[in-house]
A and B are shown apart, each in its own frame.
Chain A
Amino acid sequence: MIRFALTRAFLALVTLLTVSLIVFTLMELVPGTCAERYLAFKNTSGSQISLADIEAEKVRLGLDKPFLTRWGGWVYNVFVHGEFGDSCILRLNINQLLADKFWISLGICMAALILSYAIAVPIGILSASSSNAFANNSLRFVSYLGLALPNFLLALIIMLFSTVFFGDSLTGLFSKEYRDAAWSWAKFGDFLSRAWLPVFILGWSATAFALQTVRALMLDEIGKLYVTAASARGVSGGRLLWRYPAKHSLGPVINSLGFDLNRIFNELPIVALILTLTEAGALLFESLARSNDQQLAGAIIFLLTASIVGLNFVTDILLALIDPRVRRGLMG
């Protein structure tokens, strides 16, 4: 078991390194460099700049070094010191800038993930096993509607309704009085009273995929002989479903939770943009699409991928604890 965990941890680390290379390359593709942006800022504040200034700034930031050296330096700082450097535009330390915001985003996404499976697992099992066509179809219809309704539209409509009926647009993550306050229980409660909306929207739209997966896996398992054998021995109803096919079919689902988190996070910036949430998804969009802030965008993407890899690692270990076949490497 310990050997399995160590191998997995090593593999996760390798994946993380590969991903960091991809992220770093992506950030290089963003037009312009950090040095130019520093100096563009100086230019707006009145002082003249020349090409020589840009070169000097590049040397100061170490941008003249070869690509791989810079990547190595970045990775070293991130892995050893947990330090992402300064933002190109905001000129603030990224760790300070992100601190709460990233955790809020991760929290919202995780909550949405849990919500989507809380809906998808029971409906998926029901849909695979029940013969009540009407209930089956209507439940599936509602779940798939989350995919079909574009999430920005859903957010807008809910905002409009709540503005008309409650006089509060539900935008933002905190009420005015808590915005700059330190974290406390009251602030947390206020946060929850608003965070349910993005969680609901993201969770509903992720439900369709989760449901399709659960339903497909469940249908694959439910027709197998061991289920027939179990029912022949007199196991029936919910006990039959839970003890046998559900247990087997949920393995691959748990295995891919990390990628589901990724899918949910992809939708976050759009929802955050409309609900004007001040969290990392909106910040990522801002830094990529508007201000081209490579350092900040890279940090956010890397943190996200690290949480995905982390989640995958945890689910791997969990699965191995439950299922001996995984431990022996018989399953994917």
Chain B
Amino acid sequence: MFTRKTATAPDIDQKAKEAYFTASQGQLIFARFKSNRTAMIAAWALILMILMGLFAPFLSPYDPTIAGRNDQYENGAPQMPKMWDENGFSWRPFIYATERERSMATNFRWVVKENRDKRLYMQFFVRDWDYAIFGVDFTAFGKQVDLALIRSNLHLFGIEGGKIHLFGTDASGKDIFSRTLHAIWTSLAVGTLGVVISFVLALIIGGVAGYFGGWIDSVLQMITDAIRTVPSIPLFMALAAFMPDTWSSETRFFFISIILGLIGWPTLARRIRTHLLTERTQEYVLAAELCGASSSHIIRRHLLPSFTSYIIVDLMISFPYMVRSETALSFIGLGLKDPVNSLGAMMQNVSKADVLLNYQWYFIPVFFFIALVLAFVFVGDGLRDAADPYSDNKK
């Protein structure tokens, strides 16, 4: 005889408990992360910015290089699309046409005036310059290789019979909105490459030191400490002195990422080593050893899973520092330079008194940088809390 079971409160509780006890480490971390509101907001902001960077060519109406410049609108103020003004309402957002003039009256300087009677209407999904997302092109074995995930010339918006600059333009008439979006991607890419390089180094050096311990550990620790003691600014400078001016922006970009990676590893290596040293003496490792498991099996199946969450957290935490180093390097003129769209290179322009006083829209990329760093830090903190096995029995 079967009696239909109705789900009662204790049953649901039971199910929740069951789900909790059978959940994998990753699921537990994710569940804890989701309950942290601050971290979730930061995570969404971060995802939004990464997507903006990834689809930068689609979202930006103009080519961020000199090819896409608007020579009729240099140092131009941001233009906000409107749907309504004193001449009536329009379903399609519009901006005003601008005219540039230079005469005795303007002291022979170009002055841009907007003509409020002439409206330029916004268009969506326009076809303009070509782009590739996730594209690489290089020459290998004498052949031109040109790969890309998406190739298109479709753009989200544009304007009929003119150009629209949501964030204004810079001194050479390049669209700051387009540049900012591309810059986010460049800075993220430099950061990622730097983090990956330093992570691989840290994993090897920290792993060897932590697993073998003893004199190997001592020697490696001494080297690590010595490298941590040397200030990185002169290291950067000495390495950047190698960088010839003739290098293309792509080569410089890779070189900068490699330098960032080569300098960033010691902190991470130390953490991995400390973690391995404590884990290595745990009972479960001893048990595995007694069962006859090999070193490599223990490292792969027992030790690595025990601290992947820590590694992810560490990577997340070191990311904003990488991005920040890139901007600092660019600022002192050793990193990426102006034609390249990186947040650091764009912030370099802000530091001129002329800009501070007259062209405040140059500051817009700075807000993106601040948002990016803050999002990373808060997500990092949230992940750290979520990965902490004790966090449940705390409150």
Contacts and interface: CB of A to CB of B under 8 A. Distances in A.
Contacts of A262: 228-232
A212 B377 contact: yes
A19 B229 contact: yes
A152 B334 CA distance: 15
A212 B381 contact: yes
Q: Is the interface of A mostly helix, strand, loop or mixed?
A: helix
Contacts of A273: 332
B395 A131 contact: yes
A217 to B, nearest CB: 11
Interface string B246-287: 000000000000000000000100000010000000000000
> Most B CB atoms within 10 A — which of A29, A153, A157?
A153
Contacts of A150: 324, 327-328, 331, 347, 366, 369
Contacts of A149: 370
Given A19-B226, A19-B230, A140 B381 contact: yes
A148 B226 contact: no
A305 B394 contact: no
A31 B230 CA distance: 20
Interface string A20-46: 001100110111000000000000000
Nearest to A131: B395
Interface residues on B, range: 35 or more
B330 to A, nearest CB: 10
A232 to B, nearest CB: 14
Contacts of A269: 233, 332
A301 B366 contact: no
B263 to A, nearest CB: 10
Contact of A301 (B37, B222, B230, B331): B230
Interface in B305-356: 317, 320-321, 324, 327-328, 331-334, 347, 350-351, 353, 356
A156 B233 contact: no
A71 B25 CA distance: 52
Interface stretch (A55-63, A77-85, A284-292, A320-328): A284-292
Interface in B341-394: 347, 350-351, 353, 356, 366, 369-371, 373-374, 377-378, 380-381, 384-385, 388, 390-391, 393-394
A300 B331 CA distance: 22
Contact of B370 (A133, A140, A145, A266): A145
B226 A18 contact: yes
Nearest to A141: B374
Nearest to A219: B388
Interface in A204-233: 208-209, 212, 215-216, 219-220, 222-224
Contacts of B371: 148
B149 interface: no
Contacts, number: 143
B38 A266 contact: no
A156 B353 CA distance: 9
Contacts of A308: 229
Interface in B36-70: 37-38
B232 A223 contact: no
Interface stretch (B79-87, B162-170, B234-242): B234-242
B227 interface: yes
B373 A148 contact: yes
Contact of B238 (A29, A131, A133): A29
A288 B238 contact: yes
A219 B385 contact: yes
B223 interface: yes
Sorted nearest first, the 5 A-B pairs with minimum C-beta distance are A223-B390, A148-B373, A18-B226, A148-B370, A288-B237
23 contacts: A19-B226, A29-B238, A140-B381, A144-B377, A145-B374, A147-B324, A149-B370, A150-B328, A150-B331, A153-B347, A212-B377, A216-B384, A222-B394, A223-B391, A224-B390, A265-B233, A266-B231, A270-B332, A285-B332, A288-B234, A289-B237, A289-B333, A332-B274
Interface of B: 37-38, 222-223, 225-235, 237-239, 241-242, 267, 274, 317, 320-321, 324, 327-328, 331-334, 347, 350-351, 353, 356, 366, 369-371, 373-374, 377-378, 380-381, 384-385, 388, 390-391, 393-395
Given A14-B222, A22-B227, A26-B235, 9 more contacts: A26-B234, A147-B377, A148-B374, A150-B324, A219-B390, A222-B390, A223-B390, A288-B238, A289-B332
